[in-house]
Chains A and B, each alone.
Chain A
Amino acid sequence: SSELTQDPAVSVALGQTVRITCQGDSLRIYYASWYQQKPGQAPVLVIYNKNNRPSGIPDRFSGTSSGNTASLTITGAQAEDEADYYCNSRDSSGSLVVFGGGTKLTVL
């Protein structure tokens, strides 16, 4: 079972802002990273180490963290942002890697 908890599904109107959350005790110690996965494709890193974007990721993607919750915010969601989003971090021991269960984002 995952030590990181995500809402299974979230929806957003085109052009609006959406926040996807990830909760877990280890997030009080370690930062989360976020991945976007479209059907039939490998995951793509969109935010790492709390709020860093890899090259090529639009600046409408941002990350925040508070207490045991990490958040991925998409400001001005686009149709192409419709995908599954996963968070990951280390577990509380620091040795293992954990993923959240994933959130399916629908852009209306």
Chain B
Amino acid sequence: QVQLQESGPGLVKPSETLSLTCTVSGGSISTYYWSWIRQPPGKGLEWIGYIYYTGSTIYEPSLKSRVTISVDTSKNQFSLGLTSVTAADTAVYYCARLTTTVTTGYFDCWGQGTLVTVSS
């Protein structure tokens, strides 16, 4: 059974870069799409972007200028970078596996989530 685990700093200063890594275990990162999703405290889910194991990416347009998602197939990991963070980027960040078909796209495996707080 595939499991995902987020890792990275829980506190980031304003204007700095948020960096998180998701480690995939129990299966290969190849073949699937992999995504980052966040949830500000008390609010709903916000999709950030996804990456295919080949390295091709798609980002949420409102975050596109600040986001980079990368993949390291040798380590079975993918990563999130978000630049110039503000308090509005404080959220629980989830990594998830995205399964796509011609009729839909859904997240069938999720990490437990990691809270990132932006504060000086």
Name A's B-contacting residues (CB within 8 A): 2, 30-33, 35, 37, 42-45, 48-50, 54, 86, 88-90, 95-102
Q: Is the CB of A30 within 8 A of B103?
A: yes
Q: Is the CB of B106 within 8 A of A49?
A: yes
Q: Is the CB of B47 within 8 A of A97?
A: yes
In the complex, which of the residues A33, A95, A96, A100 contacts B106, with contact meaning CB atoms closer than 8 Å?
A33
In the complex, which of the residues B58, B94, B108, B110 contacts A96, with contact meaning CB atoms closer than 8 Å?
B58
Q: Is the CB of B108 within 8 A of A45?
A: yes
- Asked whether B27 is an interface residue with its Cβ less than 8 Å from the other chain, the reply is no
Determine the main DSSP class of B at the interface with A.
strand
Task: Give bound CA distance, A83 to B81, whole Å.
Answer: 31
B50 to chain A, nearest CB (A): 7
Inter-chain residue pair count (beta carbon < 8 A): 70
Q: Is the CB of A42 within 8 A of B103?
A: no
Q: Known interface pairs A98-B47, A102-B44. Does A90 touch B104 (Cβ–Cβ under 8 Å)? A: yes
| A-B pairs with lowest CB-CB distance, top 7 | A33-B106, A31-B104, A48-B106, A102-B44, A42-B110, A97-B47, A99-B45
Question: What are the residues of chain B within 8 A of A30 when measuring CB–CB?
Answer: 103-105
In the complex, residue of chain A having the shortest beta-carbon distance to the beta carbon of B110: A42
- Interchain residue pairs with CB less than 8 A apart (22): A2-B44, A33-B104, A35-B45, A35-B107, A42-B113, A43-B45, A43-B94, A43-B107, A48-B99, A49-B103, A50-B103, A50-B104, A54-B108, A88-B45, A89-B104, A90-B104, A90-B105, A96-B61, A97-B60, A97-B105, A99-B45, A99-B47
